[in-house]
Every structure is written in C-alpha cells, then in structure tokens.
C-alpha cells in the first residue's frame, strides 16, 4: 500500500498542502478531485518523489522505494525531440532496466504511428504514448495526472476499461480528473481536496451525493451569484 501521512508542502511562504493523509491500496482506483490550484499535482509529485522538500510521511508500506514499482503519468509528459514513439518506449524500458517488449498488442489498441518522431504527435497522441509506456512496464501502482484530458472519445472509453481491468488484476491507481463522471465510473473511492486540505473522502456507495456536495462546497458563493443572474 502507498501511504501519505500528514503531508505538508510549501513553496516559500505559500503552503500548498496543509496536512494531507491518503492511502492507495493494491487493486483500487482512487480518484483525486479539486479545483484548479487545490494541490493535486503537488500531492502526486510528492508521492512519486519529484518533490522532496516536504514534511510528513510518504512510503510504500511494503518497505520498497515508491518509484521502483510505480509509474507516473505527468500532466504534460515530456518527449525528447528526435526520438520516435518506438524509441521513446524502448528508452523508458531501458531506463528502468527492463527488457524491451513487443508493443504490437498494446499499440493495436492505441494505434500510434510509432515510427514517427514523438514531437510530431498531436496532444492526444502524446498522452496515448505516455500511457502506452506505462502499460508495457506493468507497474504495481500508477499515478495518473489527468489521464483522460486530451484523449478522444474512443480512447477515453478504452482507458476507463483498461483502468478497471488493471485494478481487477491488482494494480493500485491514483488519478486526478476534472471530469467527475470519469472518476465516479471507475473509482472505488474519491478524495476531495480543497485549498490543500482533504475536505472529504468518499467511498463508491457515497458517490450519489458527490456532485451536489462539490457544487455546494466549492461554488456556494458562485451559486448565489448565478441565482441572481438566472
């Protein structure tokens, strides 16, 4: 299990995460939701070790280094300019000391032009390539920052199914999305982050009230304003 306990992260005087605790269990999809600037990406970066200057506990309870068995999909994946999609995948595997796999099966699903330079791909194709690199590595845990963003409808539906199947095989998946439906259709639990604090943790049986609660809590003032307009 990946565990975050009492995480506090500040940039200078700006405290971005106050006292956040959260767990990611194997075989679970855990959604993270919150307004722009709530601290979601910062939390994922602390968990994966891209940020190290924080207080609190971030650990794999099995005693392994989190990054050893965890794959990260960053919000904006980076690609070296003169690598083809295939070379990028090979590079990712080799950087982890893994054998180069046959990508044909997965790529029949995602349909990427793997022999073209990755920096010539569209935004959605970049996202698919970064996802493909994670899928071929078979991680125990996945941390996905806005995985649905930029994908076309078909790829969105496919990704939801891929995530469910990975979960059923034991993968623990922590993901952010601004598309509430994408989370409630896939996640087993959802944590709502407001201003760097966990506002509430919902189990799947409680998702029925999630949208109303979010509207009420995140936008109470704006709903008042809307009522005066419409």
Q: Which is nearer to ligand ATP, 28 or 45 (CB)?
A: 45
- CB 211, min distance to ligand ATP, A: 17
Please, what is the angle between helix 210-218 and helix 220-229, to 10°?
80
Minimum CB distance to ligand ATP smaller for 40 or for 127: 40
Nearest partner of 33 among 22, 49, 46, 47, judged by Cα: 22
Residue 86 or 126 having the CB closest to ligand ATP: 126
Q: Which is nearer to ligand ATP, 42 or 70 (CB)?
A: 42
The partner residues of 117 in beta bridges, in order of sequence, read 84
> What's the closest the beta carbon of residue 73 comes to ligand ATP, in angstroms?
13
Binding site for ligand ATP (CB under 6 A): 11, 14, 16, 34, 36-42
């Amino acid at each position: 299990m990946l565990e975050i306990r009492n995480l506090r992260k500040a940039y200078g005087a700006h405290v971005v995460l106050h006292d956040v605790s959260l767990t990611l269990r194997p075989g679970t999809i855990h959604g993270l939701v919150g307004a722009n600037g709530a601290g979601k990406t910062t939390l994922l970066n602390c968990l994966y070790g891209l940020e190290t200057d924080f207080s609190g506990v971030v650990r794999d309870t099995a005693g392994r280094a989190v990054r050893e068995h965890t794959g990260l999909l960053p919000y904006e994946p980076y690609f070296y300019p003169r690598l083809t999609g295939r070379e990028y995948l090979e590079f990712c595997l080799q950087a982890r000391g893994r054998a180069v796999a046959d990508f044909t099966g997965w790529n029949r699903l995602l349909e990427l032009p793997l022999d073209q330079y990755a920096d010539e791909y569209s935004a959605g194709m970049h996202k698919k390539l970064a996802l493909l690199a994670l899928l071929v590595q078979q991680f125990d845990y996945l941390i996905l920052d806005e995985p649905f963003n930029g994908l076309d409808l078909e790829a969105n539906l496919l990704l939801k199914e891929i995530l469910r199947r990975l979960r059923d095989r034991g993968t623990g998946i922590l993901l952010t999305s601004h598309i509430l439906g994408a989370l409630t259709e896939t996640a087993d639990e959802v944590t709502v982050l407001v201003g760097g604090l966990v506002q509430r943790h919902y189990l799947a049986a409680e998702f029925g009230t999630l949208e109303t609660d979010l509207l009420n809590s995140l936008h109470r003032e704006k709903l008042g304003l809307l009522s005066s307009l419409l």
